[in-house]
């Protein structure tokens, strides 16, 4: 089965809707709105037919959603970013291709159960959230506001704190709408990279605590994302297998390209797909600021990555086509406009 894991599946010919762009749907004059009600873009309905042709276990989404530039793609107008941050999910989840979202802000600061419940109240019962564990637990170092390492983090991979600060609030607030818990290990200092056995033992203890805290049969996926290529090893696979966790494909310049990460998924087969396409590799390992500058206002694909999209589409077909859950979230920094990247990727999966 592993040799066929990412093979294409045969599908019937179909007529696809034309690719939407923000410029093709935006009115001639746009006024940024400051209101508590955000309405979905009518043009989003053009993609319902394509969405119905995708595997039911496949969920596409974005990494954050407060972008006025998605006027005509996700929203019916240009709203204030603060309004979209607070109220945009209600309109976002009505887009037929957007069935999940990655809540990235939890990486920088833990959220309360009440804050999670506020998100859950804006979406339907079929919607699922991908949530990142706070860096205060998954970063081995305490960093300054500029991201510079200052001193070792005494709470790194602490099993007790991960339950108190992360697992319990997400369960209480999101309930059945919780889909994936992502544990992103920030770039590690040599002290940890030179002791992989110690690192993976501590990671295993955390994953064991997480699994024990999750209700039986809840269907919540536990995924580990790494930012150091040195950790792509059979030892990591064994830890993930031992604790019913999976490997999160992290697509950006800090990690090898997608085809070099896929062997870990093959080793974990059968299992789900969790993928976060965060940054186009042309910007390098630390090019987020450059990507933001080039892509703003995030309403067009300006840095197309056809290779990653092709390999990712084949991977999705193999995994979701076999009935396994597949969560794929995309950032504007991947190609310039996350909703348009999702449209193209959905077309590639369906073809």
Length of the chain: 351
- How far is the CA of 201 from the CAs of 15, 116, 194, 236, 261, in angstroms? 51, 30, 14, 10, 22
Element (H, E) at 226: strand 221-226
Count the Cβ atoms, other than its own, within 10 Å of residue 9.
12
Count the Cβ atoms, other than its own, within 10 Å of residue 89.
23
Q: Which residues of the chain have pLDDT under 50?
A: 1-4, 6-20, 23-30
Sign of CA dihedral 282, 226, 112, 57: positive
pLDDT digits (tens, 9 = 90+) for 148-201: 888 999 999 999 999 999 999 999 999 999 999 999 999 999 999 999 999 999
User: Which residue carries 């939407």 as its tokens?
Assistant: 20
User: Which residue carries 């006024």 as its tokens?
Assistant: 31
Name the percent of the chain lying above pLDDT 70: 90
pLDDT of residue 324: 98
Q: Tell me the C-alpha distance between 43 and 265, whole Å.
A: 36
Round the average pLDDT of the chain to a whole number and report it: 91
pLDDT of residue 34: 66
Please report, in angstroms and rounded to a whole number, the separation of the first and last CA atoms in the chain. 22
Angle between helices 258-267 and 234-242 (to 10 degrees): 50
Classify residue 264 by burial, with Cβ atoms within 10 Å: 0-12, 13-18, 19+: buried
Classify residue 154 by burial, with Cβ atoms within 10 Å: 0-12, 13-18, 19+: exposed
pLDDT of residue 147: 78
Q: Tell me the C-alpha distance between 190 and 111, whole Å.
A: 31
pLDDT digits (tens, 9 = 90+) for 38-80: 999 999 999 999 999 999 999 999 988 999 999 999 999 999 9
């Amino acid at each position: 089965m592993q040799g066929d894991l990412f093979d294409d599946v045969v599908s019937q010919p179909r007529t696809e809707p034309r690719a939407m762009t923000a410029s093709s749907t935006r009115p001639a004059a746009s006024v940024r709105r400051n209101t508590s009600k955000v309405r979905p873009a009518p043009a989003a309905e053009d993609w319902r037919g394509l969405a119905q042709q995708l595997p039911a276990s496949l969920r596409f989404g974005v990494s954050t959603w407060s972008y006025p530039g998605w006027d005509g793609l996700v929203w019916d107008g240009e709203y204030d970013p603060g309004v979209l941050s607070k109220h945009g999910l209600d309109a976002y989840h009505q887009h037929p291709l957007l069935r999940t979202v990655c809540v990235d802000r939890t990486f920088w600061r833990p959220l309360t159960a009440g804050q999670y419940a506020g998100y859950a109240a804006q979406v339907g019962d079929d919607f699922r959230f991908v949530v990142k564990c706070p860096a205060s637990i998954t970063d081995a170092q305490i960093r300054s506001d500029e991201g510079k390492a200052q001193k070792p983090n005494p709470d790194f991979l602490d099993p007790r704190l991960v339950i108190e600060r992360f697992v319990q609030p997400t369960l209480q607030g999101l309930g059945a709408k919780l889909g994936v818990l992502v544990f992103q290990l920030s770039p590690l200092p040599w002290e940890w990279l030179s002791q992989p056995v110690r690192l993976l033992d501590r990671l295993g203890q955390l994953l064991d605590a997480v699994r024990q805290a999750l209700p039986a049969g809840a269907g919540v996926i536990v995924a580990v994302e790494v930012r150091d290529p040195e950790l792509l090893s059979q030892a990591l696979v064994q830890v993930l297998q031992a604790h019913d966790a999976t490997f999160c494909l992290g697509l950006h310049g800090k990690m090898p390209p997608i085809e070099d990460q896929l062997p870990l998924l093959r080793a974990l087969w059968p299992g789900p797909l969790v993928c976060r396409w965060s940054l186009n590799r042309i910007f390098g390992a630390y090019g987020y600021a450059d990507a933001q500058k080039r892509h703003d206002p995030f309403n067009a694909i300006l840095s197309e990555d056809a290779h990653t999209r092709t390999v990712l589409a084949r991977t999705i077909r193999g995994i979701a086509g076999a009935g396994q859950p597949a969560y794929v979230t995309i950032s504007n920094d991947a190609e310039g406009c996350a909703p348009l990247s999702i449209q193209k990727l959905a077309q590639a999966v369906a073809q």
